[in-house]
Amino acid sequence: MNDTQGIIEKIKKFRDERDWMQFHDPKNMAISIILESSEVSKVLTQKGFKVQKSR
């Protein structure tokens, strides 16, 4: 088992111990992604984040 697989297994165990699988349907996952991305956008906007152009 590589590191990535080990982390995924730990996350699944954490999820299963809390019975969170019931919330992992496509609709709820899409809503969560939208909410989290808006939070990231807000933080980056407030901090004046600027994209550096690669050469």
Does the residue 24 lie in any domain? Answer: yes
Does the residue 18 lie in any domain? Answer: yes
What's the CA gap between 12 and 51, in Å, rounded?
34
pLDDT more than 90, % of the chain: 49
Does the residue 34 lie in any domain? Answer: yes
The H-or-E segment that residue 13 falls in is: helix 3-17
Query: Are 47 and 53 in contact, with CB atoms under 8 Å apart?
Result: no
Does the residue 31 lie in any domain? Answer: yes
Number of domains in the chain: 1
Q: Would the pTM count as exceeding 0.75?
A: no
Amino acid 22: pLDDT: 87
Range of the domain at 22: 11-38
Q: Give tens-digit pLDDT for 26-51.
A: 999 899 999 999 999 888 888 776 76
